[in-house]
Structure 1
Amino acid sequence: MLLRLFDIIFSLLGLIFGFPILVILFFVGLFDTGSPIFCQERVGRNKKPFTLVKFRTMKKDTASVASHLASSSSITKFGYFLRRTKLDELPQLWNVLSGDMSLVGPRPSLFNQLDLIAERECRDVLNVRPGITGLAQVNKIDMSVPILLADTDAKMLQNLTLRTYFKYILLTLLGKGAGDRVISG
Structure 2
Amino acid sequence: MSIYNYLAKKANGDILSMQTYRGKVMLITNTASQCQFTYQYEDLQKLYTKYEAQGLEILSFPCDQFGNQNPESGEQSAAQCKGQFGVTYPIFDKVQVNGEMTHPLFNYLKHEVDVTPMATDTMQQKMLYNRIVEEHPDYLLGHNIRWNFTKFLVDQHGKVITRFEPNASMLDIEHAIQQLFA
TM-score interval for Structure 1 and Structure 2 normalised by the shorter chain = under 0.3
Q: Which has the higher helix share?
A: 1
**RCO comparison, higher one (Cα < 8 Å, 6+):** 2
Q: Which has the higher strand share?
A: 2
